[in-house]
Structure 1
Amino acid sequence: MKSAVETLSPTRAKLTVEVPFEELKPSLDAAYKKIAQQINIPGFRRGKVPPMVIDRQVGRGAVLDEAINDVLPKKYVEALEENSLQPLAQPEIEVTKFEDNEALEFTAEVDVRPEITVPDYDGIEAQVDDVEVTDADVEEQVQALRERFGTLSDVERAAADGDFVVIDLKATKDGEVLEGAEVAGMSYQVGRGGMLDGLDEALAGMSAGDEKSFTSQLVGGDLVGEEVEVTVAVSQVQEQELPEVDDDFAQLASEFDTADELTADVRERLGRGKRLEQAAAARDAVLEALLDKVEVPLPETMVTDELNARRQNIEQQLAYAGITMEKYLEDEGQTVEEFEAELDRRVRDAVAAQFILDEIAKKEELGVDQNELSQHLVRRAQQSGQDPQEFANHMFEHNHIPELVQEILRGKALATIVETAVVKDASGNTVELKNLRPDGTIGEPEAEVEADAEADAEAGEAPAEA
């Protein structure tokens, strides 16, 4: 077999392959055997029909077609390996020349992994926002805790923002109650929002026994976005009484004895959470800084496929949430053009990052062990809300394990870059990333931990030596 490669672009190649007729013989023999099993010829047992009879009864052309279908994928893979090409998609194959007893010639155009010169990534500099926990942040968390331990009591007055009401609700269109759009005895906090446009405005000022109708749009179901008539009836108005933030509340709501201790713990937990958010922002900033250091050619087919997949995923999520794309863009303050431009930028950055991280993983000779793969499978299953075993079975059955392994390797490659990066916050302070724990606390450097362990071991052995 002879093959030659023509570079059409940095991400697309054209292979021209010539296969001598002699190399088709195994595929021809297999084709005759396959066809012999499929036909019935009087005087011959199934599977024992001679080739010359098959040529006469079925036609030599059918045998040659079967042989070509068998040999093309094999010779294509051989040509890829011979020319050190890494395909990114299915090829476009065209048979350009073939006659019986003569060489087979075909071409294959395919998107290929671009050649990238990985820039120096040791000590990349990046900047992130400061970690700041404000009094308002703490007050918001304490308020949420108070509401968890609040009590409700009936009041003989009209409902106001913050009150809880027990309501019956139904939506009708053309006088008919819509399926799934009727509830009874539901508790709802006035002013909370997020249910039906106009509901909070209707409830304000209503008392127990009152009923009111208004026009709104459904946020889910087959009639999402269509105007319907909504009737709401109030059976109870309840006022929420919140406990004071004192020592008694601290003992009720936590393991702390005083309100000061509770508030300090809330501030500390918020700080840990914001530190984790800062670490995530640091990883993004380091990766962005790396992308700025290198130009990565991108296969447009791969970019288009990823764009379509992400766009479809967003549309599905909005549909599940009962939100139209128009409403989403309105809430985000974006035009369709701005949304598409931002999506295109993020997809291109993501694809470029994959290529770079793959090269770094190869350069650093990173690997994945069975335990890491198992943990990654569990995490992915949890993220998708599936049973871990069922998820793992699906991944193995559909040969998605190589993709998961690549995800892990990219994560390791990014971690390698981040650990050596110099990341500072807006105030100029160095952001600690290497010793950041999953709970947001800062651990001791590994060297210090090992030294402490050795000291403890020596201290433990001292009495035995004495």
Structure 2
Amino acid sequence: MKTDVEELTPTRVKLTVEVPFDELKPNLDKAYKEISQQVRIKGFRPGKVPAPLIDKYVGRGAVLQEAVNDALPELYGRAVEETEIFVLGQPDVEVTELDDGNQFAFTAEVDIRPKFEVPDYDGLEVVVDDAEVTDEQVDETIGNLRERFASLTTAERPVEDGDFATIDLVARIGGEEIEDASTSGYSYEVGSKSAIEGLDDALVGLSAGEEKTFTGTLVGGERAGEEAEITVTVQSVKVKNLPELDDEFAQLASEFDTIDELRDDVRARLGRQVKLQQLSEARDKALEALLEKIDIPLPDKVVEEEISRRNQQLEQQLQMAGMSKEDYLKDEEKSEEEFDKDVADAARLAVKGGFVLDQLAVQEELGVENEELSEYVVTQAMQMGVQPQQLAEYLTQNNQLPAIVSEVLRSKALNLVVEHVTVKDESGNEIDVDAVQRELNGETGETVAADDTDAADEAGVDEADTAEVDTAEAAEAAEPAEAAADAPAATAETAADEAPAAEPKNEGAKDA
């Protein structure tokens, strides 16, 4: 087999592959056997039809086509391996010659990772936020805890801002009631501005049994966006009562006996969280600093796929949050053009970051051990709330292990960069990243991912519940180049997705 490589662009090549016809013999034999099983010729059992009869009744061309389709994946793979190119995505293949008995040739155009070397990254310096916990942050956290244990008591007075009113809503357009925009017995926090615009102003001053009609824009249902006449009727007025910040509250809301112990625990937890955020920021900024030293071309198709992936992800998040894209853009104070530019910039940065980390893993001859894959799967399972073995089986069945190998390799490559970077906080103090990581790990007795502040606050996984994940074969079989070719371009460190949060309303207060 002879393979020539033509560079179409720095990120796309054309492979021209010539194959002696006798190399197709195993594929031809297989094609004849499969066709023999399918055809019905008098006097011959299925699978026993001679090749000359298949050529006569089915056609030699059909056999050749079957053999070529069967041979192409293996031949293309051999061509890629021989030329040592780092392919991205699926190739565009064209059969250019099929001379029966003599030669077979085809071309394959495919995107490739640009060839480059990661420069020396010693001496890079990044600045991260101070790992400071203020009294205001402690008070805010405890205040949120108080909200969860609040109670509601009926007030015999008109509605005031901050009250909880139980209300009925009836919306009409042209005198016709809009059923999916009407409700009864709805508990609403006055002043939260979480419902129809104008509702808060209409409620203030009303007493139980009174009603008021105002004009507002419907925000949901089939008539969303239309103006409607909305009548609100107050059933009851309730006041939210917060528990006193004393030892009794500490015992009610936590495992501690005194409010001082609760405060100390909250401060410690916040301190842990800000240190994790500091480590995550150090990783992000270390990668950013390295990327600034490297200028490489990026395949347009790969960038477009990353942009599409990010847009789909945002669309799913908006659906889960019950938001429209227009509302999201309004909250972010961005135009459609600004949003598209931000997504495109983030996508290019993610693709570039993936390429750089992949190349660094190759240069430094990094590998992935079975234990590292198991740890990754356990961490991801904990975040998703599923059993590690269940996740491992899903990844295996859906051929996702090569992508996981790539993700772990990229994480190890980034860890290597962080080890060589000087990290300082805004106050000028140098931060020993390794020491901070060991401190955080020591608190829980398990490895904590520096880029995962949410999971770090959850309870640790008991060793007895940690399923053994059989990923040794994947670790050995998946080369970095092959793994990264199938992996998403965005890594945990470079992904810049901003998921809109749907904050539940009034969930903390309880009726007394």
* 1:201 aligned partner: 201
Name the CA shift for 1:133/1:116 in 2 (closer, same or farther; >3 Å). same
Alpha carbons 1:21, 1:101 under 8 Å: kept: yes
* 2:416 aligned partner: 416
* 1:153 aligned partner: 153
Moved more, 76-85 or 181-190: 181-190
Name the CA shift for 1:73/1:264 in 2 (closer, same or farther; >3 Å). closer
Query: How far, CA to CA, are the matches of 1:253 and 1:430 in structure 2?
Result: 38
* 2:11 aligned partner: 11
* 2:20 aligned partner: 20
2:133 maps to 1:102: no
Name the CA shift for 1:47/1:350 in 2 (closer, same or farther; >3 Å). same
Moved more, 229-238 or 53-62: 229-238
* 1:121 aligned partner: 121
What secondary structure sits across from 2:434 in the alignment? coil
Query: How far, CA to CA, are the matches of 1:249 and 1:270 in structure 2?
Result: 20
Name the CA shift for 1:93/1:150 in 2 (closer, same or farther; >3 Å). closer
| Letter matched to residue 421 of structure 1 | V
In the TM superposition, residue 310 of structure 1 has moved relative to its aligned partner by 0.6
Moved more, 323-332 or 220-229: 220-229
What secondary structure sits across from 2:99 in the alignment? coil
TM-score (ref. length: structure 2)? 0.78
Query: How far, CA to CA, are the matches of 1:317 and 1:152 in structure 2?
Result: 33
| Letter matched to residue 298 of structure 1 | L
* 1:315 aligned partner: 315
Q: Which has the larger radius of gyration?
A: 1
Per-residue CA deviation, residues 290-323 of structure 1 (Å, 9 max, x unaligned), is 1111123211111101101111211222233222
Query: How far, CA to CA, are the matches of 2:216 and 2:389 in structure 1?
Result: 44
Name the CA shift for 1:254/1:37 in 2 (closer, same or farther; >3 Å). closer
Taking only the aligned residue pairs, the percentage that are identical comes to 52
| Letter matched to residue 27 of structure 1 | N
Alpha carbons 2:170, 2:232 under 8 Å: kept: yes
Cα RMSD of the aligned pairs, angstroms, is 2.8
* 1:86 aligned partner: 86
Alpha carbons 1:272, 1:441 under 8 Å: kept: no
Query: How far, CA to CA, are the matches of 2:351 and 2:391 in structure 1?
Result: 25
Query: How far, CA to CA, are the matches of 1:218 and 1:67 in structure 2?
Result: 62
Alpha carbons 1:273, 1:440 under 8 Å: kept: no
TM-score (ref. length: structure 1)? 0.85
Name the CA shift for 1:244/1:59 in 2 (closer, same or farther; >3 Å). closer
Name the CA shift for 1:166/1:88 in 2 (closer, same or farther; >3 Å). same
Per-residue CA deviation, residues 110-147 of structure 1 (Å, 9 max, x unaligned), is 01122220122234211123334444333323332333
Name the CA shift for 1:340/1:430 in 2 (closer, same or farther; >3 Å). same
Per-residue CA deviation, residues 244-302 of structure 1 (Å, 9 max, x unaligned), is 44566556555666655554554443333222222222211111001111123211111
* 1:62 aligned partner: 62
Moved more, 215-224 or 58-67: 215-224
| Letter matched to residue 344 of structure 1 | A
Alpha carbons 1:98, 1:105 under 8 Å: kept: yes
Alpha carbons 2:170, 2:177 under 8 Å: kept: no
* 2:136 aligned partner: 136
Name the CA shift for 1:274/1:154 in 2 (closer, same or farther; >3 Å). same
Q: Any unmatched runs of 5+ in structure 1? A: 444-466
Aligned counterparts, 1:345-356, within 5 A? 345-356=345-356
Alpha carbons 1:128, 1:425 under 8 Å: kept: yes
Query: How far, CA to CA, are the matches of 1:403 and 1:52 in structure 2?
Result: 46
Higher relative contact order (CA 8 A, sep 6+): 2
Name the CA shift for 1:201/1:131 in 2 (closer, same or farther; >3 Å). farther
Q: Any unmatched runs of 5+ in structure 2? A: 444-512
What secondary structure sits across from 2:315 in the alignment? helix
What secondary structure sits across from 2:54 in the alignment? helix
- Count how many residue pairs are aligned between Structure 1 and Structure 2: 442
Per-residue CA deviation, residues 312-366 of structure 1 (Å, 9 max, x unaligned), is 2112222332222222112211122211111111111111111121222334443
